[in-house]
Amino acid sequence: MVIGRKHQCEAECRKRGFSTPPNVAVNDPERYIGRHHAVIRTTKNGECFLEDLNSVSGTAVQHAGSRLFAKLSQGQECHLMDGDVVALAYSPTKGAYMTFSYHAK
């Protein structure tokens, strides 16, 4: 499941390997969130992993019970657990532009 800014894919997206708009399309008039910002992958065991798709503005995760966000490196994967908070367009000095909570089934 790809998360990104709402748009229609064009040649630039195809160059990066994307032929369809994100599954979760975020309306972001400020354009802080990338067109294809992050992806959540599910394993056969039902575990979910978040990966930053080389976004310019960054992605971070605050694990349940923690008070701090851990910023992902570009291309880094992170195991998601019930209650984690994901920040899109994250800066350690400015904080999160947009967040959502991950809840297991």
- Please report the domains of the chain, with CATH numbers, ordered by start residue: 2-101 (2.60.200.20)
Q: Which residues contact 48 (CB under 8 A, 6 or more apart)?
A: 40, 41, 42, 79, 80, 102, 104
What pLDDT is attached to residue 104?
A: 85
The pLDDT score that the predictor gives to residue 105 is: 73
Alpha-carbon dihedral of residues 73, 53, 95, 84, nearest 10 degrees?
-90
- Please give the pLDDT value at position 37: 95
* Residue stretches of the chain with pLDDT short of 50: none
